[in-house]
Structure formats: C-alpha cells, structure tokens
C-alpha cells in the first residue's frame, strides 16, 4: 500500500481510490467489501477506520485464500482448514446417491463407505482405509436402508504406552519392513496407534493397538496388502503379540517447509498475541531470501567458544535444513502482522447502535453502552501503536546460514533424520532475548492450557502454565522419560499431550505416539522418527506447510522434538514426524562443541 494512504480514513476516500487500494471492485474478498460498506454506512461510529486497519484485514484474507494441495511444492505455508463439526456430521450424503457405496466392488475389498469414513475424525480430510486385519470380526456400522441421516463414528488417534509391543517394537519393526519389501510393497510409514471411537449415543471407547502402515499412493492394491498381512501377524506372534490389528492406507511423507526481536507484551497491550513472530519467544517464522521457502525457528544457543577454543559471542539459531540453504543465504522473518482491529471496530459499532436504539425504553442499558463506547475508543487509540509496530517488523533481516549439513538418516545407528541447519543471528535482533521460551500466545487462557495438557485433576495438581503464558524450555526429554509418561486421561490411560508454535498453524496441541515410526520418502530415504497425532478433530491440524523446524514441547516446558514432516492430504494433515531434540542437540555439539543452550539441560544416557 502507498504509505501516503495508511492514515487516511475510509470515509474520506472516493470509490476510485477504494478500488485502486483493492478494497472495492472485482476479485476483492467479500469480507473486505462488507467491511468498507459498513464503514461508509456508519461514519459516526466507524469514521475512524483507516486504510491501514482494512489493509491488515485484507492480508489475513489473502493468506486464508491460498491453500495448497499436498502434491504441490511445500515451499510456502498454508493456513489450516479443517471441517467444522457441522460439516463432519453431514458428510454422509456425499455417498447417498451412489448405489455401490455400501457394497464391495472389485478390486476393492471393502466398501466405498468404509474406505472413506473409517478414519473419520482424525483430521478434516482423513486418509482412506485400504484394508484391515479385523475386517470380519469388527464390522463397520452402515446406515440403515433408506436412512437420510446417519451419524458416522468419530475417531481420535492416541499414543501407545506400557503394552507388550512397546518392549519389542525396535526388534519387530525392522522385520516387518523386511517382510513388506519381500512382498514388493513400497511403504511410506510404519507406526503404532490406538483409536478411540465415539458412536452415536454411546460413550467413547479405546480400541486395540494398531500397527498402522501407509504405502506409497498408486503403487499397490487392497489384495496385495491383505496378502502381506499374515506374515506381519506371524512376526508379532513370534514375540507373543497376538492382540494387535494391522491397518493399511495410502499416503506420502512430505517435508513441511513454508526487526530486533520484541519483548513479550503484557496481555493488556494491543500487541499481545500479535507480535509473537517477532518477539523473544520461540516459533519465530523465517524464510530464505533466495526463494522465500518458509519454516520456523527451533531454538537459539550461544557458541561460547569456536571449535579451536577461541572465545565467541555469537548467537545462533537452529531450524530445519530444508528450510535453510547450503550457502550463505540471508534468513528473514517471514510474515507481517494480520490485525483484527477493523473487524472489532465494526462489531462494536453495531453493538453501540443497537444499544442506542433502546435508550428510553425498558430495555435500555446505559452501563453496557458506556463500556462499548470505551472499548471502541480504546481500539481507535491502539491503531497508531499497531501501525508503528507494523513499520518496525518490516525490517525483517534475521541472520545468515552458518551450517547446513546434508540431510541424512545414516549419521549413526539411531537412523533419525539429520535435517538441521544453523544461522548466525544479527546481534541487534537479540537485544531483548533472555532464554529459550515459548510464547503460548492468546488462543487459550493459562487455565485452559493446563486442562488440555493435564486432563486429570490429580495430575494437574501442582502444575501450572505461567500466567503470562511464557513457557521456559528447561530440558530435552530422552527415551527413558518418553516411554513412561506421568500423565493420564480421564480413563486412566497414559498419555503425553504436547504442543508446538509454528509459522503457519501457530499454537497447536497433539498426542505423542509413544513409539517411533519407520518412514520412507518418495525418494527412498528411510529413517526413524518421533510421531505426533492431532489432539482432536475440533482442534485442527497439529502441523502444516511452513511449520518445519518448530519445537515440540510438553506443558512442563520439556523439549521433545524438532518438527520436519507430515502426511498432508489436501489442506489437512493427520500425522506429524519429528527428530528427537536430544539427538538434534547431540549433532549440534559435534559442530559447536562449546555450545550453551540457555539453560536447557540434556542427558545422552
């Protein structure tokens, strides 16, 4: 936008000027048109709305209108879009007109209805079931003949803890991989899960352990995976694991690539929850200068000494290699603010008008009217401060890549993915930096976050989310603690609820799977990864394009992993893959042997 227009009021502009600014005319988001129309129709209450305020709203509409399909390059992020509850409950009519929807049609071994809705709920657009070993013993409920409405069972993916399979997984998983290869199957992921299911009118139930296998799309069929299943069940039976289900589906692993740092604001400040990408909290969005490939900063560390022992004052940031570059490409902060001030102004103006219309009647409420007018005045006073903030973050240079080793899953016998890079941060950007913290933003209150991380009161007792929602990262979790969670759900089942703050999806919650996955990209790179499932269908995706590099953490401030991949389907993603942060730190220490991670402790035992 022309800077000369930033402070101009919408009511003072001509139609030609509004069209030139992209606020009116063709190809303008309906929400922007409605906003401008309301401002022009109510100059008394909305005469203070400026071009800057509407332009910030326009930026938000622009981001939300450009989703990418999983088949596209993951270089740019998208906003998460998930089916709402009402949409989820009315999806059944899509197949009602298909006479073959509830019958098995070759070469399929299950009906279209079951294929489409077996995983209903694990994401907004879940994968389709290919085959499962309990097909006969556990029939999927079908709508009664002639039914116009049918509530489809809803699933949530959970981790697996304290089962006999946990003890032998590292032994049997390689054998299962070898078995699949012997059957000429091209796998994408081998992992474990338990699904809870809610059926209409019934309580939630937690199902058996599932060996959950994704095969590369369009490389096999239901008959082939069915024929490979007995060998997998035999492998499990050899170690006395007999109560496990094997399920197959199609999906590919995809890399989720997409000013001085500001002090964290008090929650009464208009910038609270807005300046997160530019403050001293982790989750800072970053982008390469060369092609704007975007991702997220994982954490920062001090070099202390060079590898030769010379003193060093350098501060470096950690992210994913596929976000950074092999050369000295500058790294920038990747986004500007998207404000909701203009929307709030219009809403308040409408409420004030409604309250004024009731003056002199039994329904008048002068107290509410006064409060609404005070709130409107406060928003108008905030606008200049927010515009200044916008100007500050336009100076977005952040640093230059310092180390970006080749992506590899053969660094050591762990076979975790080394997808890491560092960049030296310009010193003036860190004048407010004190330690690695996660700014949890303003999506939830501290109490709500506590209830989500620790859903049982007895477990929650003595644990709190900081009142200012600034969560210090205190240590890197290792395998021993990860396999023995000290949290449980309302039914007493062990679980690890984790969070992450990413460039695209911001603060999200998920469920750590409890056992590593074995994955293979479409290019044939095999590795071992940590797994996080979506928290619940109403919470949206745990990750999306642009979230690569995000730190995954617990409510206690323990670092879990560095996010790098997922299995997107359309605009949704049902599973996230990440590298254990303890292993990442171990690799960083090879390159920077004297590094200090601002108080984050880590044991390699």
User: Quick one: CA dihedral 499, 500, 501, 502, positive or negative?
Assistant: negative
Pull the structure tokens for residue 122: 């694990």
Kindly tell me if the per-residue pLDDT of 293 is higher than 60.
Answer: no
Closest CA to 332 of 317, 342, 345: 317
More confident residue, 210 or 373: 210
Cβ-based neighbours of 464, under 8 Å, separated by 6 or more: 446, 450
| Residues 95-120, mean pLDDT to the nearest whole number | 76
Q: How far apart are CA 115 and CA 482, in angstroms?
A: 33
Check if the beta carbon of residue 316 is closer than 8 Å to that of residue 301: yes
User: Quick one: CA dihedral 390, 392, 393, 394, positive or negative?
Assistant: positive
In this predicted structure, what is the pLDDT of residue 493? 86
DSSP letters for 442-490: TSS-HHHHHHHHS-SHHHHTT----TT-EEE--EE--HHHHTS-S-B-T
Q: How far apart are CA 254 and CA 214, in angstroms?
A: 13
In angstroms, what CA-CA distances link 490 with 204, 450, 458? 11, 14, 10
Q: Report the 10 Å Cβ neighbour count for 12.
A: 11
List of E strands, 387-435? 397-403, 421-425
| Residues 399-403, mean pLDDT to the nearest whole number | 79
Q: How far apart are CA 417 and CA 407, in angstroms?
A: 7
Q: Phi and psi at residue 59, in whole multiples of 5°?
A: -60, -40
Q: Phi and psi at residue 164, in whole multiples of 5°?
A: -55, -30
In this predicted structure, what is the pLDDT of residue 505? 82
Q: What confidence category does residue 96 fall into, taking pLDDT thresholds of 50, 70 and 90?
A: low
Domain 435-580 has CATH 2.40.10.10: yes
Give me the residue spans of the domains in the chain: 85-122+128-250, 435-580
In this predicted structure, what is the pLDDT of residue 6? 77
In this predicted structure, what is the pLDDT of residue 211? 98
In this predicted structure, what is the pLDDT of residue 345? 64
Using a pLDDT cut of 90, give the percent of the chain over it.
36
Q: What confidence category does residue 382 fall into, taking pLDDT thresholds of 50, 70 and 90?
A: low
Q: How far apart are CA 233 and CA 221, in angstroms?
A: 19
User: Quick one: CA dihedral 530, 533, 539, 544, positive or negative?
Assistant: positive
Decide: helix, strand or coil at residue 158: strand
Q: How far apart are CA 57 and CA 509, in angstroms?
A: 26
In this predicted structure, what is the pLDDT of residue 529? 96
Q: Strand pairing of 572-580 and 558-569?
A: antiparallel
Q: What confidence category does residue 290 fall into, taking pLDDT thresholds of 50, 70 and 90?
A: very low
Using a pLDDT cut of 70, give the percent of the chain over it.
75
| Burial environment of residue 392 by CB neighbours within 10 A (0 to 12, 13 to 18, 19 or more) | middle
Angle formed by the axes of helices 164-182 and 222-238, nearest 10° = 140
More confident residue, 456 or 576: 576
Dump pLDDT digits (tens) for 2-16.
777 878 888 999 988
DSSP letters for 323-385: TS-SS--EEEE-------HHHHHHHHHHHHHHHHTTTTSTT--HHHHHHHHHHHHHHHHHHHH
Check if the beta carbon of residue 122 is closer than 8 Å to that of residue 533: yes
Pull the structure tokens for residue 304: 């202390």
Decide: helix, strand or coil at residue 244: coil
Radius of gyration of the chain, Cα coordinates, nearest whole angstrom = 26
Q: Report the 10 Å Cβ neighbour count for 28.
A: 17
More confident residue, 382 or 539: 539
Kindly tell me if the per-residue pLDDT of 401 is higher than 60.
Answer: yes
Q: What confidence category does residue 246 fall into, taking pLDDT thresholds of 50, 70 and 90?
A: very high
In this predicted structure, what is the pLDDT of residue 571? 81
| Residues 386-411, mean pLDDT to the nearest whole number | 69
In this predicted structure, what is the pLDDT of residue 395? 47
Dump pLDDT digits (tens) for 219-241.
999 999 999 999 999 999 999 99
In this predicted structure, what is the pLDDT of residue 70? 36
| Burial environment of residue 106 by CB neighbours within 10 A (0 to 12, 13 to 18, 19 or more) | exposed
Q: Strand pairing of 551-554 and 558-569?
A: antiparallel
Q: What confidence category does residue 294 fall into, taking pLDDT thresholds of 50, 70 and 90?
A: low
Q: Mean pLDDT, the chain, as a whole number?
A: 79
Entry pTM: 0.72
In angstroms, what CA-CA distances link 15 with 23, 25, 33, 160? 9, 9, 12, 60
Dump pLDDT digits (tens) for 407-439.
889 999 999 999 988 888 876 666 667 788 888
Q: What confidence category does residue 552 fall into, taking pLDDT thresholds of 50, 70 and 90?
A: very high
In this predicted structure, what is the pLDDT of residue 537? 87
Cβ-based neighbours of 4, under 8 Å, separated by 6 or more: none
In angstroms, what CA-CA distances link 44 with 47, 48, 144, 350, 374? 6, 9, 58, 11, 15
Q: What confidence category does residue 579 fall into, taking pLDDT thresholds of 50, 70 and 90?
A: very high
Kindly tell me if the per-residue pLDDT of 90 is higher than 50.
Answer: no
Q: What confidence category does residue 344 fall into, taking pLDDT thresholds of 50, 70 and 90?
A: low
Kindly tell me if the per-residue pLDDT of 269 is higher than 60.
Answer: no
Pull the structure tokens for residue 66: 């450009």
Q: How far apart are CA 415 and CA 200, in angstroms?
A: 43
In angstroms, what CA-CA distances link 299 with 258, 281, 473, 561, 598? 18, 9, 9, 11, 10
| Residues 436-446, mean pLDDT to the nearest whole number | 85
Burial 259-283 (b: 16+ CB within 10 A, else e): bbbbebbeeeebbbbbbbbbbbbbb
> What DSSP designation does 263 have?
P
Lowest mean pLDDT among 310-324, 405-419, 421-435, 442-456: 421-435
| Residues 566-570, mean pLDDT to the nearest whole number | 89
Kindly tell me if the per-residue pLDDT of 210 is higher than 80.
Answer: yes
Kindly tell me if the per-residue pLDDT of 362 is higher than 80.
Answer: yes
In this predicted structure, what is the pLDDT of residue 79? 33
Kindly tell me if the per-residue pLDDT of 31 is higher than 50.
Answer: yes
Angle formed by the axes of helices 30-41 and 341-356, nearest 10° = 40
Q: Phi and psi at residue 411, in whole multiples of 5°?
A: -70, -40
| Burial environment of residue 5 by CB neighbours within 10 A (0 to 12, 13 to 18, 19 or more) | middle
Check if the beta carbon of residue 215 is closer than 8 Å to that of residue 188: yes
């Amino acid at each position: 936008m022309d800077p000369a227009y930033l402070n101009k009021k919408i009511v003072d502009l001509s139609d030609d000027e509004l069209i030139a600014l992209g606020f009116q005319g063709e190809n303008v988001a309906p929400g922007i048109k409605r906003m401008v129309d309301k401002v022009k129709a109510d100059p008394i209450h909305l005469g203070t709305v400026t071009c800057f305020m509407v332009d910030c709203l326009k930026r938000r509409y622009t981001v939300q209108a450009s989703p990418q399909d999983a088949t596209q390059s993951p270089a740019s992020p998208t906003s998460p879009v998930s089916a709402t509850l009402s949409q989820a409950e009315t999806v059944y009519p899509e197949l009602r007109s298909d006479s073959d929807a509830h019958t098995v049609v070759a070469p399929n071994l299950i009906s279209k209805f079951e294929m489409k809705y077996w995983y209903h709920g694990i994401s907004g657009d879940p994968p389709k079931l290919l085959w499962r070993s309990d097909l006969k013993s556990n029939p999927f409920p079908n709508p009664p003949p002639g039914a116009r409405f049918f509530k489809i069972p809803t699933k949530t993916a959970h981790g697996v803890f304290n089962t006999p399979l946990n003890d032998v997984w590292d032994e049997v998983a390689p054998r299962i991989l070898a078995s699949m290869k012997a059957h000429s199957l091209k796998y994408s992921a081998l992992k474990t899960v338990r699904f809870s299911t809610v059926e209409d009118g019934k309580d939630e139930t937690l199902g058996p352990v599932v060996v959950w296998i994704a095969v590369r799309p369009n490389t096999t069929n239901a008959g082939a995976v069915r024929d490979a299943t007995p060998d997998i069940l035999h492998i499990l039976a050899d170690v006395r694991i007999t109560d496990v289900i094997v399920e197959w589906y199609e999906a590919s692993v995809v890399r989720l690539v997409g000013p001085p740092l500001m002090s964290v604001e008090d929650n009464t400040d208009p910038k609270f929850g807005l300046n997160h990408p530019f403050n001293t909290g982790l989750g800072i969005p970053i982008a390469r200068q060369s092609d704007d490939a975007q991702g997220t900063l994982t954490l920062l560390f001090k070099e202390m000494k060079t590898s030769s022992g010379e003193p060093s004052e350098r501060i470096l940031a950690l992210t994913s290699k596929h976000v950074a570059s092999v050369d000295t490409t500058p790294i920038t902060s990747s986004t500007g603010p998207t404000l909701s001030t203009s929307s709030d102004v219009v809403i308040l103006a409408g409420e004030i008008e409604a309250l004024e219309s009731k003056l002199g009647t039994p329904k008048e409420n002068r107290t509410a009217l006064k409060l609404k007018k005070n709130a409107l005045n406060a928003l108008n006073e905030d606008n200049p401060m927010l515009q200044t903030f916008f100007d500050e973050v336009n100076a977005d240079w952040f640093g230059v890549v310092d180390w970006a080793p080749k992506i590899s899953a053969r660094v050591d016998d762990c076979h975790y993915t080394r997808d890491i890079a560092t960049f030296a941060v310009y010193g003036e950007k860190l004048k407010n930096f004190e330690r690695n913290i996660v700014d949890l933003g303003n999506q939830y209150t501290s109490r709500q976050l506590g209830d989500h991380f620790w859903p049982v009161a007895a477990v929650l007792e003595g644990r709190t989310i900081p009142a200012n929602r600034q969560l210090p990262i205190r240590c890197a979790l290792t395998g021993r603690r990860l396999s023995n969670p000290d949290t449980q759900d309302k039914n007493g089942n062990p679980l690890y609820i984790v969070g992450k703050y990413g460039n695209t999806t911001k603060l999200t919650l998920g469920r750590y799977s409890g056992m590593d996955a074995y994955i293979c990209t479409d290019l044939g790179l095999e590795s071992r990864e940590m797994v996080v499932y979506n928290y619940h269908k109403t919470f949206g995706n745990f990750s999306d394009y642009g979230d690569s590099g995000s730190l995954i953490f617990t409510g206690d401030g323990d670092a879990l992993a560095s996010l790098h991949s997922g299995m997107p389907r359309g605009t949704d993603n049902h599973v996230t893959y990440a590298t254990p942060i303890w292993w990442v730190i171990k690799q960083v220490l090879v390159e920077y042997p004297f590094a200090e991670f601002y108080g984050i402790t880590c044991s390699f035992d």
